[in-house]
């Protein structure tokens, strides 16, 4: 009797172990059901669609009446919503939060290191971006170790986007940021050596900031390409763009978005013919500023208080008092004069446009920067579908170099979001993010929170 009961209990234990190992091995299944699907390809949306996810891959898509939902799938109702690839921002600053005044912000961080180490700021940014449907980013400029650590935390499951990091940028013109954010270069040879050092430390990309010489760009690009990593150049005027372009810089960032006149036809033609992506970072000055003058209430979003905590929230808010006089916006008249012309040049040229926002810069919040950027392009004549493709597939493949990301197709990585309404009719619908799935994990929405 005793041996029988022991036998049974051993059998039960064995069963339990089997089911544990089964559930550990069986990939999680998610079915997003009912909404319109924008795939990220040049094709019409699929209406009343189902997206089926297994593990971290998309395994089926199609009209909902044609896709069988497995019994063990977690069903996420997206009725009345639009599903699309997770958004990607190719120019972010995890160490910034939208505070109005850099010197004051960094001083405050220095004085509050105990409660607000840089890692906490970066974690806040990571969460804000992910909750806004931004499932991948390129971070362009932060202290090296903190950047590597952040990437590791996200990899281990902390809520945040997939991230490529540059660590500190290379420059000859030291900006108002603290030393740890930048490497001061004095010769092309030194620039190349710094690239070697950053690559060995594990950065994903190199950021070449403004003020470098033509020879510096050539040395940086040669060194980076030897390590098979891309160079992003932070450049504004025609000469700097020309130098960076000729040297083979992979991604041209900013390109005229801060008050420089439109570029020569020759430069535009060369960039278009090269197929290399440009990231105009249009909205963060020329459109964020008037948007805030028109509606300063946007600075009062209660979510900021919840995300930042009281002391940092208060500090940020008080930096916006008299925001029209902030140093960051002193050349606003000139920037706004050239803003439309410069942007239209990129939209009509046929250049490969990548959507990046420079978010974290003054009044340019992680929470809403990307849909604002897309809205500016759409308001100037880009189709909403093109803008979405640029912020997903183009960003994934042409900028981040990740081939199986950026579309909702069978076999691709399962980064899928759902937004309220139809972004093909009103691109600002991208600001109404209801569901976020990254790498096959539900971070926002889903069955548990659906009833809210
Ligand atoms: Zn920059
Ligand atoms: Zn930037």
Helix (H) or strand (E) holding 212: none
- CB atoms inside a 10 Å sphere around CB 64: 20
Higher pLDDT, 39 or 258: 39
Distance between Cα 15 and ligand 1 center (Å): 57
Distance between Cα 93 and ligand 2 center (Å): 6
Rounded to whole angstroms, how far apart are CA atoms 51 and 33?
7
Class of domain 2-85+410-444: mainly beta
- Give the mean pLDDT of the chain: 92
What pLDDT is attached to residue 8? 52
Among 351, 349, 400, CA closest to 232: 400
What pTM does this model have? Answer: 0.93
Distance between Cα 276 and ligand 1 center (Å): 17
Among 28, 38, 37, 29, CA closest to 69: 29
Rounded to whole angstroms, how far apart are CA atoms 196 and 186?
16
Distance between Cα 71 and ligand 1 center (Å): 48
What pLDDT is attached to residue 450? 42
Res. 232: pLDDT tops 70: yes
Rounded to whole angstroms, how far apart are CA atoms 173 and 195?
17
- 78 contact partners, CB below 8 Å, separation of at least 6: 32, 33, 34, 35, 418, 434, 435
Distance between Cα 122 and ligand 1 center (Å): 18
Confidence of residue 23 (pLDDT cuts 50, 70, 90): very low
What pLDDT is attached to residue 58? 98
Span 61-106, pLDDT tens digits: 999 999 999 999 999 999 999 999 999 999 999 999 999 999 999 9
Range(s) for CATH 2.30.40.10 in the chain? 2-85+410-444
Lowest mean pLDDT among 321-335, 344-358, 434-448: 321-335
Give me the helices (H) in 156-301, please: 188-201, 214-226, 238-247, 265-274, 283-286, 288-294
Sheet holding 162-165, edge to edge: 87-92, 134-139, 162-165
Distance between Cα 358 and ligand 1 center (Å): 7
CATH of region 87-399: 3.20.20.140
Distance between Cα 360 and ligand 1 center (Å): 11
Distance between Cα 21 and ligand 2 center (Å): 46
Distance between Cα 345 and ligand 2 center (Å): 21
């Amino acid at each position: 009797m005793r041996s029988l009961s022991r036998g049974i209990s051993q059998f039960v234990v064995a069963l339990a172990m089997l089911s544990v190992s089964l559930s550990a091995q069986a990939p999680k299944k998610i079915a997003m059901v009912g909404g319109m699907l924008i795939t990220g390809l040049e094709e019409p949306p699929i209406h009343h669609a189902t997206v089926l996810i297994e593990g971290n891959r998309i395994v089926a898509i199609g009209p909902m009446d044609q896709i069988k939902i497995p019994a063990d799938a977690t069903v996420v109702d997206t009725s009345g919503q639009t599903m699309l690839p997770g958004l990607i921002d190719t120019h972010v600053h995890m160490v910034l939060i939208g505070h109005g005044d850099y010197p004051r912000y960094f001083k405050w961080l220095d004085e509050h290191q105990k409660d607000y180490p840089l890692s906490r700021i970066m974690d806040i940014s990571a969460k804000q971006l992910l909750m806004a449907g931004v499932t991948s980013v390129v971070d362009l400029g932060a202290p090296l170790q903190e950047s590597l650590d952040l990437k590791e935390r996200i990899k281990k499951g902390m809520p945040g986007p997939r991230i490529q990091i540059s660590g500190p940028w290379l420059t000859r013109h030291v900006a108002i940021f603290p030393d740890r954010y930048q490497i001061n270069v004095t010769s092309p040879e030194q620039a190349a050596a710094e690239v070697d050092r950053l690559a060995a430390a594990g950065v994903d990309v190199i950021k070449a900031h403004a003020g470098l010489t033509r020879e510096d760009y050539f040395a940086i690009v040669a060194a980076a390409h030897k390590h098979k990593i891309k160079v992003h150049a932070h450049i504004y005027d025609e000469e700097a763009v020309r130098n960076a372009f000729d040297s083979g810089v992979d991604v041209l960032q900013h390109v005229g978005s801060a008050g420089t006149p439109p570029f020569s036809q020759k430069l535009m033609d060369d960039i278009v013919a090269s197929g290399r992506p440009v990231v105009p970072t249009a909205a963060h000055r020329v459109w964020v500023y008037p948007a805030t003058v028109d509606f300063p209430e946007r600075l009062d979003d209660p979510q900021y208080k919840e995300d930042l905590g009281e002391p940092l929230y208060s500090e940020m808010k008080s930096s916006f008092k008299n925001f029209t006089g902030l140093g960051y916006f002193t050349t606003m008249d000139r920037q706004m004069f050239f803003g439309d012309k410069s942007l239209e040049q990129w939209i009509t040229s046929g250049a490969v446009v990548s959507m990046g926002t420079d978010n974290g810069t003054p009044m340019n919040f992680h929470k809403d920067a990307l849909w604002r950027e897309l809205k500016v392009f759409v308001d100037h004549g880009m189709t909403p579908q093109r803008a979405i493709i640029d912020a997903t597939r183009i960003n994934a493949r042409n900028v981040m170099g990740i081939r199986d990301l950026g579309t909702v197709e069978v076999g691709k990585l399962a980064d899928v979001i759902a937004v309220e309404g139809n972004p093909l009719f009103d691109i600002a619908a991208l600001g109404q993010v209801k569901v976020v799935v990254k790498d096959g994990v539900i971070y926002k929405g889903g069955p548990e929170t659906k009833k809210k």
